[in-house]
C-alpha cells in the first residue's frame, strides 16, 4: 500500500448515471457516482450484490450492453478526455490497452479454444501494430514470469483448461497488464478463489501496481480484502456512493449507518469475543426500479429520521476527503428546507 | 469437553473414492479420486463442529457421505448407535428424520415449481404417509406446523403460497432452514449455508441459526470456507486438506494457537477487516495449488506445499497426535521423537521396512 498524494489523477468519474430500461421500469443501476483515481493508487469499491459496483466499472470500459442499458449522464475523464464522447473506434484503442479489466471468473474469461500464447499475442498486436509476433510472444512470456507462472516458455503453449483457477487468474492479470495499462479494473478478482490463492493474487496485484505505477480499481464485497489492499474506499448502496474515505479513516470512523453496519456485521477472526450475536442490518437491499426520492437505506437504518423518508441526503465532507451522504451530518436548516420542499411536492401531486 | 459425554455421531475412517473409468465400450476403472480419504471424528450433542478447508478438500463430500447421499467406499458412520453405512433402507429412512441438511445454493436447492408451503410440508407428508411419526399428523396439523416454522425462521406466513423465485437469496435460505427443521431433527448438516449470501444477510442467517440451536438443542455440522464465520459459530473446528483432517481442536485453541503448518498458513491468509491489523500482520503465503487427489499417497498429504517439511514427511503418513484434550493434529512436527534430523535415505529405508513388514 502506498500513499502518493502528489501523484497525478489518471481517471476521474463525475456524476455517472447508467440506467437500464426493463419491462418493470427504469433501473437506475448507477445514479450519480463520482470518484477519481491517482497514479499507483488502489481504490476499493465495496457494496452488496446489486449495488451497482460492476455496472460502474463496465461503464468505465463502455461495455454496457445497449439496449437495454445506457449511460445517460456524467463524464469519465481519462487523460483529460471524456471517454463517453469518443467514437467506438477511438474507444477500442483505450480499452484493453490503457484501461484493462480482470473479471471475477477466471474459468470463463479466457477462450477455451485458443492457446494462452495466441490470446496474449493477439492482445499485444491488436494495440501495438508494429510489434512482430515473435516480439509479442517474448513479451508475453516475460509477463507470465512476472506474475509467477513457473516454466512460462512451456506453459504459454497450453490451453486454459490446463491451468488451475489461481493460475488462470494470473494469466488474466498478465494479459491485462501486457500493454502497460494505466488503469486496471479488477472486478471481484479473488471471489472465485480459495483464501490461500486469494492471498497470492492480491499480493501480486499490489506488487505490480507499485512497480508499474498502475492505478487499480478493486471491486469487492469483502471488507477484509479492502482493508489490506486499498488506499481509498467507496461504499456503494443502491446505485450511489454513500461514503468515501481513506481506508484507515473509514474503518476507524465509519460514519454512514450502512458502512457501520457492514463493518460490524462481519465476524472477525482476531477479536476474541465469541458467541455474541452478530450485529445485523435487518431487511434487504431495495429494488432499484423507480426508487422514490428518499434515502434508499432508510427502511433498514437504525438511525432513520423523518427527513430520510422524504429526500435524498446531501453529500457532506467531514474533512480529509471523508465524504458521506447521510442526513445525520446535515444542518438543521437543510433538513427543514428539504422537508418543506417534499411537502410542497406531495401536495402538488 | 467432558470425556464421559456420548457422541451423537461417530465417523470412523470414512473413505469416499470416486472411480475414474476409461474406455468407450468396455469401461474399466483406471484410478480413483480420493475425495475423502480416511476421516474420523465425533460430534457431541449440542455442539457445532465446523469444517474448513479449500475447495476440493472434501468438506462437502464428507457431509454427503455421512447422510448417505453417496455410499461411502469404506469406514463407518455411527449415529445414535446405528451404523448408517450398513443400515437397510428402512433404518436409514428413520435415521434421516434426525439428520437434515441445509445446502449452499438457495437458488438450486428449492424446487421452483413448488410453493413454499409444499416445500416445507413435504418431509412431514412423506414421513406421515409412511407412518414413521410418533403421532400421526392431520393435514390441519401440517398446515399449522408450516405456519409456525415460517414464523420461527422470520418469514411472513402470508407468503406460504408463493414460489421460491419470488424470494431473495436470504429468504430462500430461511425456507431451506424451515424445511430442515420440519421433522425436529437432532443434527443439521449445513453445507456452506451462508457463502452465497451478502454480508448483511449472512449475519442475519448466522444469528438465526444460533438462536435455533439454543431453542431446539440442535447439533450442527457446519461447513464453510470463511474462517471468520467458522470461528464465530463453532465450538470445535476440523481443518481438512486433500481429503484428510489435518487438525481438529476446540475453536478457541485453534484460532489462538494453530498447530498444523497448513492451519497456520490458512489463518494468516484470511483477510481481516481492519487496515491497521492488516498492515502489521505477517502473511505466510503458500506456494502452488492444491494437488489433484487422484493418486495414492505414501507421505504427508500437505508435503508439496508445506513450509516446514522434513525428509521424514515424504514417506510417512502422519497419524493424529493428541497434543492435549482439546487439540489434535496430524503432523510429524509434534511427534515425541525429533524427526527433523532424519535424512531422506534413513526415512526411505524406514518406510520400506514398514512396508515390508506389512506385506
pLDDT (tens, 9 = 90+) of chain A, 349 residues, equals 445 556 788 999 999 999 998 888 888 889 889 999 988 899 999 988 888 888 898 899 888 888 888 898 899 998 888 988 888 888 888 888 889 988 887 778 888 899 999 999 988 888 888 889 999 999 999 888 888 888 888 889 999 888 877 788 888 888 888 888 899 999 888 877 778 888 888 888 888 888 888 999 999 888 888 888 899 999 999 889 999 999 999 999 999 999 998 888 888 887 655 557 888 888 878 877 777 788 889 888 888 888 888 888 888 888 888 999 999 988 888 888 888 888 888 788 7
pLDDT at A6: 67
Residue of B nearest to A226 (CA): B273
In the sheet that holds A232-237, the strands lie side by side as A99-102, A183-187, A215-220, A42-46, A232-237, A240-246, A323-325, A315-317
The two most distant CA atoms of chain A are separated, in Å, by 73
**CA dist B161 → A21, B111, B114, B118, B153 (Å):** 30, 14, 9, 8, 16
Q: For B68, what's the count of Cα atoms within 13 Å in the CB-facing half-sphere? A: 19
Neighboring chain A residues of B232 at a CB cutoff of 8 Å = 267, 274, 278
**pLDDT tens-digit series, residues B88-125:** 988 888 898 999 999 988 888 999 999 999 999 999 99
Spans of chain B, pLDDT less than 70? 1-4, 359
The answer to whether the beta carbons of residues A9 and A41 sit under 8 Å apart is no
> Alpha-carbon distance B277 to B279, whole Å?
6
Neighboring chain B residues of A278 at a CB cutoff of 8 Å = 203, 206-207, 232
Backbone angles phi, psi at A120, to 5 degrees: -75, -40
In the sheet that holds B82-83, the strands lie side by side as B28-43, B9-22, B74-79, B82-83
CB atoms within 10 A of CB B28: 8
**pLDDT tens-digit series, residues A219-259:** 988 888 888 889 999 999 988 999 999 999 999 999 999 99
N-terminal to C-terminal alpha carbon distance within chain B: 40
The answer to whether the beta carbons of residues A220 and A228 sit under 8 Å apart is no
> Alpha-carbon distance A306 to A216, whole Å?
39
Helix axes A116-127, A133-146, angle to 10 degrees: 110
> Alpha-carbon distance A128 to A140, whole Å?
13
Q: What is the ipTM of this complex?
A: 0.77
State the alpha helices, DSSP H only, in A37-131: 53-60, 88-94, 116-127
> Alpha-carbon distance A32 to A15, whole Å?
4
A196, A198, A247, A284: best mutation site toward chain B, by most B Cβ within 10 Å?
A: A196
The answer to whether the beta carbons of residues A269 and B227 sit under 8 Å apart is yes
pLDDT at B234: 92
Cell numbers representing residue B245 in the block: 483432517
Query: Who among B200, B229, B255 is closest to A261 (CB)?
Result: B200
Instruction: Give me the residues paired with residue A33 across strands.
Output: A16
Q: Per-domain residue ranges for chain A?
A: 109-176, 257-348
* Cross-chain Cβ contact B273/A224 below 8 Å: yes
**3-state SS, residue A258:** helix
Which pTM was predicted? 0.84
Nearest C-alpha neighbor of B103 from the set B45, B43, B63, B156? B63
Query: Who among B200, B227, B278 is closest to A281 (CB)?
Result: B200
* Cross-chain Cβ contact A278/B277 below 8 Å: no
Strands A315-317 and A323-325: antiparallel
Buried-state track B209-244, b at ≥16 Cβ within 10 A, e below 16? bbebbeeeebbbbbbbbbbbbbbbbbbbbbbbbbbb
Question: Strand runs (DSSP E) across chain A, as ranges?
Answer: 9-22, 25-38, 42-46, 69-78, 81-82, 99-102, 183-187, 215-220, 232-237, 240-246, 315-317, 323-325
Nearest C-alpha neighbor of B118 from the set B144, B137, B96, B146? B146
Neighboring chain B residues of A274 at a CB cutoff of 8 Å = 231-232, 251-252
Is the CB of residue A69 less than 8 Å away from at least one CB of chain B? no
Residue positions counted in chain A = 349
Neighboring chain B residues of A225 at a CB cutoff of 8 Å = 271
The answer to whether the beta carbons of residues B320 and B330 sit under 8 Å apart is yes
Residue with cell 464485497: A221
B268, B274, B293, B304: best mutation site toward chain A, by most A Cβ within 10 Å?
A: B274
* Cross-chain Cβ contact B198/A166 below 8 Å: no
Is the CB of residue B239 less than 8 Å away from at least one CB of chain A? no
> Alpha-carbon distance B77 to B121, whole Å?
28
Amino acid at each position: 500500500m502506498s500513499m502518493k498524494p502528489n501523484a497525478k489523477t489518471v481517471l476521474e468519474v463525475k456524476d455517472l448515471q447508467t440506467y437500464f430500461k426493463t419491462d418493470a421500469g427504469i433501473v437506475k443501476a448507477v445514479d450519480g457516482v463520482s470518484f477519481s483515481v491517482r497514479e499507483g493508487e488502489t481504490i476499493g469499491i465495496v457494496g452488496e450484490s446489486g449495488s451497482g459496483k460492476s455496472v460502474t466499472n463496465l461503464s468505465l470500459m463502455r461495455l454496457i450492453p445497449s439496449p437495454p442499458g445506457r449511460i445517460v449522464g456524467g463524464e469519465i475523464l481519462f487523460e483529460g478526455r471524456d471517454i463517453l464522447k469518443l467514437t467506438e473506434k477511438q474507444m477500442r484503442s483505450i480499452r484493453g490497452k490503457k484501461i484493462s479489466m480482470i473479471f471475477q471468473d477466471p474459468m470463463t474469461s479466457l477462450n477455451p479454444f485458443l492457446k494462452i500464447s495466441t490470446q496474449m499475442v493477439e492482445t499485444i498486436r491488436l494495440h501495438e501494430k508494429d510489434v512482430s509476433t515473435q516480439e509479442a510472444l517474448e513479451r508475453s512470456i516475460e509477463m507470465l514470469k512476472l506474475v509467477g507462472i513457473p516454466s512460462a516458455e512451456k506453459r504459454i503453449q497450453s490451453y486454459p483448461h490446463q491451468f488451475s483457477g489461481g493460475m488462470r487468474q494470473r494469466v488474466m492479470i498478465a494479459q491485462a497488464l501486457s500493454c502497460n495499462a494505466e488503469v486496471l479494473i479488477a472486478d471481484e478478482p479473488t471471489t472465485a478463489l480459495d483464501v490461500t490463492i486469494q492471498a497470492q493474487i492480491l499480493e501480486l496485484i499490489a506488487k505490480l501496481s507499485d512497480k508499474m505505477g498502475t492505478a487499480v480499481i478493486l471491486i469487492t464485497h469483502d471488507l477484509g480484502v479492502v482493508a489490506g489492499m486499498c488506499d481509498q474506499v467507496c461504499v456503494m448502496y443502491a446505485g450511489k456512493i454513500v461514503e468515501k474515505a481513506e481506508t484507515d479513516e473509514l474503518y476507524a470512523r465509519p460514519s454512514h449507518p450502512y458502512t457501520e453496519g457492514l463493518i460490524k456485521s462481519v465476524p472477525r477472526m482476531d477479536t476474541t469475543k465469541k458467541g455474541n450475536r452478530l450485529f445485523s442490518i435487518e431487511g434487504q437491499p431495495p429494488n432499484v426500479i423507480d426508487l422514490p426520492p428518499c434515502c434508499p437505506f432508510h427502511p433498514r437504518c437504525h438511525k432513520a429520521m423523518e427527513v430520510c423518508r422524504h429526500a435524498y441526503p446531501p453529500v457532506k465532507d467531514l474533512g480529509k476527503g471523508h465524504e458521506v451522504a447521510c442526513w445525520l451530518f446535515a444542518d438543521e436548516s437543510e433538513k427543514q428546507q428539504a422537508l418543506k420542499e417534499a411537502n410542497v411536492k406531495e401536495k402538488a401531486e | 469437553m467432558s470425556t464421559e459425554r456420548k457422541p451423537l455421531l461417530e465417523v470412523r475412517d470414512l473413505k469416499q473414492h470416486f472411480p475414474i473409468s476409461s474406455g468407450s465400450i468396455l469401461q474399466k476403472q483406471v484410478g480413483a479420486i480420493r475425495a475423502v480419504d480416511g476421516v474420523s471424528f465425533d460430534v457431541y450433542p449440542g455442539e457445532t463442529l465446523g469444517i474448513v478447508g479449500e475447495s476440493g478438500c472434501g468438506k462437502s463430500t464428507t457431509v454427503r457421505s455421512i447422510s448417505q447421499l453417496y455410499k461411502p467406499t469404506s469406514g463407518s458412520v455411527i449415529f445414535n448407535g446405528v451404523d448408517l453405512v450398513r443400515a437397510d433402507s428402512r433404518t436409514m429412512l428413520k435415521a434421516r428424520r434426525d439428520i437434515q441438511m441445509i445446502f449452499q445454493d438457495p437458488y438450486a436447492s428449492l424446487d421452483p415449481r413448488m410453493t413454499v408451503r409444499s416445500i416445507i410440508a413435504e418431509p412431514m407428508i412423506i414421513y406421515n404417509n409412511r407412518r414413521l411419526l410418533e403421532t400421526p399428523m392431520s393435514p390441519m396439523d401440517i398446515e399449522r406446523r408450516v405456519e409456525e416454522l415460517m414464523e420461527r425462521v422470520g418469514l411472513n406466513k402470508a407468503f406460504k403460497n408463493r414460489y421460491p423465485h419470488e424470494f431473495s437469496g436470504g429468504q430462500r435460505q430461511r425456507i431451506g432452514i424451515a424445511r430442515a427443521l420440519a421433522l425436529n431433527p437432532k443434527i443439521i448438516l449445513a453445507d456452506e449455508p451462508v457463502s452465497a449470501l451478502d454480508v448483511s444477510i449472512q449475519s442475519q442467517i448466522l444469528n438465526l441459526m444460533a438462536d435455533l440451536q439454543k431453542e431446539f438443542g440442535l447439533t450442527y455440522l457446519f461447513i464453510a470456507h470463511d474462517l471468520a464465520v467458522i470461528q464465530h459459530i463453532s465450538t470445535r473446528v476440523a481443518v481438512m486438506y486433500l481429503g484428510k483432517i489435518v487438525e481438529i481442536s476446540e475453536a478457541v485453541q485453534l484460532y489462538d494457537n494453530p498447530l498444523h503448518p497448513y492451519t497456520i498458513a490458512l489463518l494468516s491468509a484470511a483477510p481481516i477487516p481492519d487496515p491497521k491489523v492488516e498492515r502489521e500482520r505477517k502473511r505466510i503465503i503458500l506456494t502452488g495449488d492444491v494437488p489433484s487427489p487422484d493418486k495414492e499417497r505414501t507421505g504427508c498429504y500437505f508435503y508439496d506445499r508445506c513450509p516446514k517439511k522434513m525428509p521424514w514427511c515424504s514417506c510417512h503418513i502422519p497419524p493424529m497426535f493428541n497434543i492435549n484434550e482439546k487439540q489434535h493434529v496430524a503432523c510429524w512436527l509434534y511427534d515425541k521423537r525429533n524427526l527433523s534430523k532424519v535424512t531422506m535415505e534413513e526415512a526411505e529405508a524406514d518406510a520400506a521396512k514398514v512396508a515390508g513388514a506389512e506385506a
